[in-house]
């Protein structure tokens, strides 16, 4: 088993900790495989009702491990289109398509693909000392791991271009002010807040939360009219779930609902 991603299932929350702290959790192939297989497990295992992604040590992730891209070793330049298609893109697609809440606790610097993997999660909390860096331009690359999409969708072209072209670090507070993340919290409070949030969501009506994620992601690509149809279809499914029946019964009985994720 790989140690580059630590995984624990606790109270319905699958904790995934990127674990190459001496490299600021930079991605090598082993870490990619480990993260991907844990996300597949999150998809397949009904006992997983939320995912909490964070990093070990002082950083969240410094993106691609550049030690694996050393041009001084000789040989032809790497085919980065191939590495994206093989390693990064399946993980990004899995994060977005997973019909369960994915919370990201950005515990420190998030650079390059590390920043954009965080931004692809559903709810992002960041330690006040964390920074988001679109580091790509410093080494002649373009934003990947979904960054050109998420930065532009969320921030608009002016800020997206400036961040991507300058690679200036964006402090967590500014990221929150700009709506790039959910909130910045005191460093010491980050893990407690993220855990409480993940556990709350893991105790929620999982089917409804998964459909909510799908609807919101579909919204920016479609028309109001098409979105009404998607809402109708999703609500039809949610309305047949046991958790919905429990939610309404609990409301009428003036008690807290007990959701089972079904």
Interface residue list for ligand T3D (CB under 6 A): 23-24, 26, 62-67, 69, 80, 83-84, 109, 111-113, 133, 135-136, 139, 141, 144
Complex with ligand T3D: residue 129 or 212, whichever CB lies closer = 129
To ligand T3D, the closest distance from the beta carbon of 34 in angstroms equals: 16
Place of tokens 């459909």: 211
Give the dihedral sign, CA 241/245/248/250.
negative
To ligand T3D, the closest distance from the beta carbon of 200 in angstroms equals: 31
Complex with ligand T3D: residue 66 or 215, whichever CB lies closer = 66
133-158 core/surface letters (b: 16 or more CB in 10 A; e: else)? bbbbeeeeeebbbbbbbbbeebbeee
Complex with ligand T3D: residue 14 or 110, whichever CB lies closer = 110
Which residue, 175, 32, 188, 165, is CA-closest to 110? 175
List of residues 6+ apart from 232 with CB closer than 8 A = none
To ligand T3D, the closest distance from the beta carbon of 112 in angstroms equals: 3
Complex with ligand T3D: residue 34 or 62, whichever CB lies closer = 62
Complex with ligand T3D: residue 23 or 43, whichever CB lies closer = 23
Which residue, 184, 182, 167, is CA-closest to 107? 184
Instruction: Tally Cβ neighbours within 10 Å of residue 93.
Output: 13
To ligand T3D, the closest distance from the beta carbon of 68 in angstroms equals: 7
- In degrees, to the nearest 5, what angle opens at C-alpha 217 toward C-alphas 95 and 142? 65
Q: C-alpha distances in angstroms, 89 versus 146, 166, 193? A: 8, 24, 29
To ligand T3D, the closest distance from the beta carbon of 111 in angstroms equals: 4
């Amino acid at each position: 088993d790989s140690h580059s991603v630590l995984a624990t299932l606790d109270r319905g929350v699958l904790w995934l900790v990127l674990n190459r702290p001496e490299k600021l959790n930079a991605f090598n192939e082993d870490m990619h495989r480990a993260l991907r297989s844990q996300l597949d497990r999150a998809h397949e295992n009904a006992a997983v009702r939320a995912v909490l992604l964070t990093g070990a040590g002082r950083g969240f992730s410094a993106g691609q491990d550049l030690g694996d891209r050393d041009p001084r070793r000789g040989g032809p330049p790497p085919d980065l289109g191939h590495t994206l298609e093989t390693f990064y893109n399946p993980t990004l697609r899995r994060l977005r398509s997973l019909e369960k809440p994915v919370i990201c606790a950005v515990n420190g610097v998030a650079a390059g693909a590390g920043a954009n993997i965080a931004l692809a999660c559903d709810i992002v909390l960041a330690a006040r000392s964390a920074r988001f860096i679109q580091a790509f331009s410093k080494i002649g690359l373009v934003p990947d791991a979904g960054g050109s999409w998420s930065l532009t969708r969320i921030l608009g072209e002016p800020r997206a271009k400036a961040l991507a072209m300058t690679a200036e670090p964006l402090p967590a507070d500014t990221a929150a002010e700009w709506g790039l993340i959910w909130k910045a919290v005191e460093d010491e409070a980050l893990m407690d807040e993220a855990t409480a949030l993940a556990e709350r969501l893991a105790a929620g009506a999982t089917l409804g939360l998964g459909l909510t994620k799908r609807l919101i992601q579909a919204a920016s690509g479609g028309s109001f009219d098409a979105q009404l149809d998607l809402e109708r279809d999703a609500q039809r499914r949610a309305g047949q779930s046991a958790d919905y029946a429990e939610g309404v019964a609990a409301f009428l009985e003036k008690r807290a609902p007990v959701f089972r994720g079904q």
